[in-house]
Amino acid sequence: MPCGVNIRVNVNAVIFIRSWIMTQCCHFVRNSLLLASLLATVNPCTAKELRVPAEFKSIQAAVDAADAGDTILVEPGLYEERVTLRPRLTLRSAGVDAKGSLGLTRAEATIIDGGGATKSGPGIATAEGCIVDGFTVRNVGIYDEQSWQKHYETHGEEQSYDHIGEPGIAGIAVDGVNCEVRNNIVHHIGYTGIAIMGADGKDVSPLIEKNVCYRNMGGGIGAMQGNTATIQNNICFENFYAGIGHSGASPRVLNNECYGNIRAGIGISEDSSPLVRGNRCHHNRRAGIGIRTGQETAPLVEENECFENDYAGIGVREEAAPTIRRNRCYRNKMAGIGSRTGATPKIVENECFENEKSGIGQMSGCRTVIEGNYVHHNKTSGIGFDPGEGGESQVTGNRVIDNEMVAAGVNAGWNVTFTDNQLSRQGGLPPIVMVFAGSRVVFKGNTIRGGGVAGVRVSGEVIAENNHFDGTSFRPVGPPNFAIWGLKGSRVTMLNNRINGWRHALSADESAVAATANQVTHSSRAAFVISKPVDAPVLTGNSLLPSKQTDVVALVDGTSWAADANTILTGLAPAVDSSAQPGPPPGRGPGNRGPGGPPPGSGPQGPAGRRGGPPQAKQANP
């Protein structure tokens, strides 16, 4: 019996092993068939290296003789031809990847000259799955130096708009194919240096990297017609339009350098929504990055550095709707970030400094969201709103520090809400904020600090609620020194604000005034001084910690205001140290990346650092 058991066990083992072997054989056969199908088009055992000019006198002759998977290796020299590639070929210049004056030395020494207007087709026409690596491509079409110089002088404002995104003959054409184009130098082309076209019903996502494109009569690199290319680590300069341009395409545009172009360093238009990240755009004749043409043009523009451009660092117009975040825009001849003609950008966590005009500027009826930015040391305003009909803006959580004229200037036609911002300037006489006639501005939870003629000077309409007005240069006489200065025709509403260190919390002349539940420390003669009010002023529930026993809460036309429940608090306010100036805000300066921390008032203690209730009352206002 034991022997019978052993025999049956061994037979079962044999059956199991046989079944396992048959299964593995089936897997092997199936995988072998799959591998064979993958290698059917490219067999590494048969891929060849074809040499030009040793084996073929022209590059095109080598291409025509090559099979999929072959490499065409081209020695240094001048090749007067245009090349049309076939699928899955590698076209490469011979030599090592040593750096030359513009690009790789092998690219500088291996030149494809397209013969100007005497030949047809692109300098290199790519194909599906091909690689183009390390060539100079030049003289395709007609380069017009006179036209280039003319439009350079006029910032491209007289250029025809029609050529942007229109078909043309490129230096290197990527037309509806997926391929790699790298390490090339493309210049003096009658159209765009490297042109990328999408194709209906196909994902066209080529890789365009480490190329140098300059002095082309279109853009340096153009992404058009729905492609989603990756365009990275290229240098594009002195091109007739943008360094890198977009028309109806949404590529990834990463870590490129674009400078000296007649239009923008990077131009985005015609319903394009690319990711534009980590680029350096400088010394362009227009904006560093320019965005325009319609609400469907909605790129994400982040972590770029835009400086010393002739227009804005980043400019938005014509109803475009980008998100612009964590960029550094500085020393541009206009705004750091500028919006106009109905644009609707979200401007978040950028640093804008030392620009010739505003750090962040708006005009012509835009609708903007401005949040968490650090805006400092600009030549006019930190945040500026030029005259224009129908403009709206939400300005939240920004630090607007030490701009030369005003932290913010709001002109006619704008409706703006400032919430939880720090608006300040050390020294100087201009107001911290200027609100012009024909505008309406709401301030909620802001800290407004400085020592100019006013914290807010207003000839439009202002509603100020739960703000801290911190005066740093108290002047009992001399130039004005008011937390809010209401000019003739203004409307001022003040509710639950804390005001200290100003001659008056409010000085208003021929204005409509309502001030309720405000806490004032250290005024001169009166906290609220109102002359010739257009309506009976509303002054109720305000409190004053006086500088002198003779101070009153309010004077209206020179008479102490006796109505309603305003309060003089016990004691006298401490003297203001006029020499003390607030130090620089925490966070970064021009030499550091990344916006600093949130402004005061955004933490758990409430807006503008408000703590606790009002101090204890002593007596009613006489």
Q: What is the pLDDT of residues 460-505, one digit of tens each?
A: 999 999 999 999 999 999 999 999 999 999 999 999 999 999 999 9
Residue 591 has a pLDDT of 38
Residue matched to tokens 């709401």? 442
Tell me how many domains the chain contains. 1
* pLDDT of 445: 98
Confidence of residue 34 (pLDDT cuts 50, 70, 90): very low
Q: What is the mean pLDDT of residues 40-55?
A: 79
Rounded to an integer, the average pLDDT of 543-559 is: 90
Q: Does pLDDT of 122 surpass 60?
A: yes
The tokens describing 230, both together, are 């990756």
pLDDT at 570: 63
Determine the structural domain holding residue 484 and report its residue range: 425-622
Per-residue pLDDT band for 590 (boundaries 50, 70, 90) equals very low
Residue 435 lies in a domain: yes
Q: Is the pLDDT of residue 69 over 60?
A: yes
CA–CA dist 419, 396 (Å, integer): 5
The DSSP line for 460-495 is SEEEEES-EEEESS--SSSS--EEEEE-TT-EEEEE
Overall average pLDDT of the 533-550 stretch: 90
pLDDT recorded at residue 277: 98
pLDDT at 160: 76
DSSP-derived letter for residue 30 is H
Query: Is residue 21's pLDDT more than 50?
Result: no
Inform me whether the pLDDT recorded for 617 exceeds 70: no
Give the per-residue pLDDT at 164. Answer: 53
pLDDT greater than 50 at residue 601: no
For 303-320, the DSSP string reads: S-EEES-SS-SEEE-TT-
pLDDT at 24 over 90: no
Give the rounded percent of residues in the chain with a pLDDT score beyond 90: 76
Q: Please indicate, yes or no, if residue 18 is contained in any of the structural domains.
A: no
Element (H, E) at 17: helix 2-38
The amino acid occupying position 431 is: P
- pLDDT of 488 reads 97
pLDDT tops 70 at residue 606: no
Question: Rounded to whole angstroms, what are the CA distances from 331 to 274, 424, 572?
Answer: 26, 21, 47
Asked if residue 553 belongs to a domain, the reply is yes
**Are 272 and 255 spatial neighbours (Cβ–Cβ below 8 Å)?**
no
**How many distinct helices (H) and strands (E) make up the chain?**
4, 61
Q: Where are the beta strands (DSSP E) in 257-405?
A: 257-259, 266-269, 275-277, 280-282, 289-291, 300-302, 305-307, 314-316, 323-325, 328-330, 337-339, 346-348, 351-353, 360-362, 367-371, 374-376, 381-385, 391-396, 399-401
Report yes or no on 274 lying in a domain: no
Q: For residues 475 and 516, what is the distance between their CA atoms, to the nearest angstrom?
A: 25
Contact 305, 328 (CB under 8 A): yes
Pairing of strands 71-74, 90-93: parallel
DSSP state of 50: E
Residue 567 domain-assigned? Answer: yes
Output the six-digit token pair for 604. Answer: 């758990």
CA distance linking residue 411 with residue 398, whole number of Å: 20
Average pLDDT, the chain: 87
Tell me: the pLDDT tens digits for 75-106? 999 999 999 999 999 999 999 999 999 999 99
CB of 400 closer than 8 Å to CB of 424: yes
Mean pLDDT for the stretch of residues 255-275: 97
End-to-end CA separation in angstroms for the chain:
122
Query: In the predicted model, what is the mean pLDDT of residues 382-411?
Result: 97
Angle formed at CA 352 by CA 349 and CA 357, multiple of 5 degrees = 140
**pLDDT at 262 (0 to 100):** 97
Domain membership of residue 116 (yes or no) is: no
Which pLDDT does position 547 carry in this prediction?
79
pLDDT of amino acid 588: 39
Q: Which of 80, 63, 79 is nearest to 71 (CA)?
A: 63
The pLDDT of 347-353, averaged and rounded, is 98
Backbone angles phi and psi of 105, in degrees to 5: -60, -35
Q: Is the bond leading into 53 cis (omega within 30 degrees of zero)?
A: yes
Q: How far apart are the C-alpha atoms of 518 and 524, rounded to whole Å?
A: 16
Q: What is the pTM of this model?
A: 0.86
Q: Report whether 354 contacts 333 (CB < 8 A).
A: no
Is residue 456 one of the residues assigned to a domain?
yes
**Cβ pair 262, 239 in contact under 8 A:** yes
Q: What are phi and psi of 464, to 5 degrees?
A: -120, 120
What's the pLDDT score for residue 575?
Answer: 63
Report pLDDT for 196: 97
The structure tokens listed for 107 are 């690219």
Q: Token digits for 478?
A: 């001399």
* Bridge partners (DSSP) listed for residue 338: 315, 361
Residue 385: both structure tokens together: 């709103």
Rg (CA), the chain: 34
Q: What is the reported pLDDT for 425? A: 95
Provide the percentage of residues in the chain whose pLDDT is more than 70.
Answer: 83
On the question of pLDDT at 608 being above 60, the answer is no
Longest dimension (CA), the chain: 126
Whether the predicted pLDDT of 203 surpasses 90? yes
CA distance 265 to 298: 18
Q: Is the pLDDT of residue 44 over 60?
A: no
Residue 32: which H helix or E strand, with range? Answer: helix 2-38
| Contact in structure between 288 and 260 (CB atoms under 8 Å) | no
Q: What b/e sequence results for 316-332 when a residue is b if at least 16 CB atoms lie within 10 Å of its CB, and e otherwise?
A: bbbbbbbebbbbbbbbb
Instruction: List b or e across 360-383, with b for residues whose CB sees 16 or more CB atoms inside 10 angstroms.
Output: bbbbbbbbbebbbbbbbbbebbbb
The answer to whether 286 and 315 are in contact (CB under 8 A) is yes
521: Cα separation from own chain's centroid? 41
503-515 residue pLDDT tens? 999 999 999 999 9
The answer to the question of residue 504 being in a domain is: yes
Predicted local distance difference test score (pLDDT) of residue 522: 86
Q: Would the CA dihedral through 489, 494, 499, 504 be positive or negative?
A: positive
pLDDT for res 550: 85
150-175 pLDDT, tens digit per residue, is: 999 988 888 876 555 567 899 999 99
